[in-house]
Structure 1
Amino acid sequence: MVLAPCGWILELVSTVAPGWRTINNIPGESIDLVLQQGLWDICKTFSSSRDILCNQQDTQYFSAQIIQIARGLMLASLILNVIAFGVASAGVRCWRDTPHWTIAGVGGVLIFISGVLTIIPVAWYTHIMTTIFSTSTDIRVGYCLVLGFIGGCLEVLAGLVMSIGLCRRCDGRRPRGRPATRSATRPTDRPMPLPRVTVPRSYTSESSVPYSQKSLDDDLDFPRAKTRDRGVVNTSYSGRPYDADL
């Protein structure tokens, strides 16, 4: 999302600026004259006075096949990049937690194509730059070719990175960042209640506890102390106490 608009700005400068190539040492002209040629305009600059004269006419240069093709491809790249950036913005949805990976991936593919449409005319023009009509043999690469190549590479890189979301969608894997849905209706942080078990209670006429005295005596592995008479209090008892007495 950052590289795509940066590449678009560099492409725009490369398209409108008259600096695809520079011609020096033109026969019959001043020695300090430098001719800058672009896709839409030609300018004359003088290194001694810093004067710039644009809107120069050169029918043979503008009628070259590479100039016509480069114009169409650069304009198509600029328009497609604007559309692709809008699609990618709708898919990324920075104001939400989960992006729409399919729409973002489609926007990445369009950005990638836009970068390719820029690199093709720039590379082609650089390759045949010396064969285009010129009155001088001192032909040098202009700054627009450098800016166009950098802008196209930024868009290709941005498109590849953004297309990863579309690849993850196609292979069926859940993209990172999407919250997992809970299949259970009961919240996981609430403990499950234990089942209630009804314990049978056996009451006697002398006790209110839910067990009998006989069952308690069977479970003990030590002799139980004899029951003393409640009416007689023996204060001189010094024997070893049993657990039952405690």
Structure 2
Amino acid sequence: MRTPGIFIFGMVLAPCGWILELICTVAPAWRTINNLPGQSSDLVLQQGLWDICRTFTSSRDIQCNQQDTQYFSAQIIEIARALMLSSLILNLIGIGVASVGVRCWTEKPHWTVAGVGGLLIFISGVLTIIPVAWYTHIMTSIFSASTDVRVGYCLVLGFIGGIMEVLGGLVMSIGLCRRCGARKRDERPRAFPVKSTRGPSPAHRVTVPSISSSVSSVPYYSRPSETDFTRDKRQQDSTAYRARPYDTDL
């Protein structure tokens, strides 16, 4: 028996979503700040969950490990860190559990185990979407030295990775529904034939007309035997002898 398509779909989307989620967590590009007052016009400040970098559009120079206590003290930063780390760990656990249930080495898949793994992957995707959506909603209200605040590529990758995990986990969770449905079918009472309390009905008597041997409408033909042939020949010879004339008759 080959691996069901829903498990293949989930096992492909879950690792891809985890990679995008890891980039979103580590990279310092949740938002970009341009046109800083008193700074060069080509300066771009990239802020993430763990680090802040200074980049220039006219060159490739990047200066990271920038300090900004007011930015890192925001409540959304601490909550987003906890949720993103929890999502990464939970996704790995879900992929490990689902790998056991998908059964690449057994004859039949373990629907319950694979469904539990899909449920963990689904929760991991939800934990990713929550901080990303929340950060996007209040991005402009977080402390910034400039009003020119733009969305960073980490938020885009976070949305894509979270949606991939949600879809993959939701599809794999169908294994739990199938397992529950099979269990309900097994527990359904079977219908047994109802025995009648009345006694057996008397047998119907049918009168068959008797056929007498004396009254037969079908003629009976017997096979001629050798004795009948000899008897018939003697009768013919005797008749011929009696019909022969004698001298006295002349």
TM bucket normalised to smaller: 0.7 to 0.9
Are 2:182 and 1:172 equivalent residues in the alignment? yes
Give, as a single letter, the amino acid of the residue that structure 2 aligns with 1:148.
G
Are 2:45 and 1:47 equivalent residues in the alignment? no
The aligned residue for residue 190 of structure 1 is: none
The aligned residue for residue 226 of structure 2 is: 228
Give, as a single letter, the amino acid of the residue that structure 2 aligns with 1:71.
R
Partners of 1:222 and 1:56 in 2: CA distance: 126
Q: Which deviations, in whole Å up to 9, do the C-alpha atoms of 1:16-35 show, x marking residues without a partner?
A: 00110000000011000011
Are 2:101 and 1:96 equivalent residues in the alignment? no
Are 2:154 and 1:136 equivalent residues in the alignment? no
CA contact (8 A) 1:168 1:174 kept: no
Which of 6, 22, 27 is 1:17 aligned to? 27
Q: Which runs of 4+ in 1 moved over 3 A?
A: none
Larger fraction in helix: 2
Q: CA deviation at 1:79?
A: 0.3
The aligned residue for residue 112 of structure 1 is: 122
Relative distance call for 1:168 and 1:225 in structure 2 (3 A) is same
Superposed CA RMSD: 2.2
Partners of 2:96 and 2:13 in 1: CA distance: 14
Q: 1:59-208 residue pairs with structure 2 within 5 A?
A: 59-172=69-182
**TM-score, structure 1 as length reference:** 0.72
Relative distance call for 1:119 and 1:225 in structure 2 (3 A) is same
Relative distance call for 1:223 and 1:39 in structure 2 (3 A) is same
Partners of 2:128 and 2:150 in 1: CA distance: 20
Q: Which deviations, in whole Å up to 9, do the C-alpha atoms of 1:115-147 show, x marking residues without a partner?
A: 000000000000000000000000000000000
CA contact (8 A) 1:33 1:45 kept: yes
**TM-score, structure 2 as length reference:** 0.71
Q: Which deviations, in whole Å up to 9, do the C-alpha atoms of 1:91-120 show, x marking residues without a partner?
A: 111222311111111111101100000000
Q: CA deviation at 1:174?
A: 9.2
Q: CA deviation at 1:223?
A: 2.8
Secondary structure in 2 aligned to 1:133? coil
Give, as a single letter, the amino acid of the residue that structure 1 aligns with 2:225.
T
The aligned residue for residue 240 of structure 2 is: none
Q: Which sections of structure 1, spanning at least 5 residues, go unmatched?
A: 176-219, 233-246
Q: How many aligned positions are there?
A: 189
Q: Which deviations, in whole Å up to 9, do the C-alpha atoms of 1:28-73 show, x marking residues without a partner?
A: 1100001110000111110101211111111110110000000000
* Percent of aligned pairs with the same amino acid: 77
Relative distance call for 1:221 and 1:165 in structure 2 (3 A) is farther
Q: Which sections of structure 2, spanning at least 5 residues, go unmatched?
A: 1-10, 186-217, 231-250
Q: CA deviation at 1:170?
A: 1.4
Q: Which deviations, in whole Å up to 9, do the C-alpha atoms of 1:181-223 show, x marking residues without a partner?
A: xxxxxxxxxxxxxxxxxxxxxxxxxxxxxxxxxxxxxxx9873
Partners of 1:125 and 1:27 in 2: CA distance: 24
Partners of 1:224 and 1:61 in 2: CA distance: 125
Give, as a single letter, the amino acid of the residue that structure 2 aligns with 1:157.
L
Partners of 1:69 and 1:16 in 2: CA distance: 15
Q: Which has the larger radius of gyration?
A: 2
Relative distance call for 1:86 and 1:222 in structure 2 (3 A) is farther
CA contact (8 A) 1:61 1:132 kept: yes
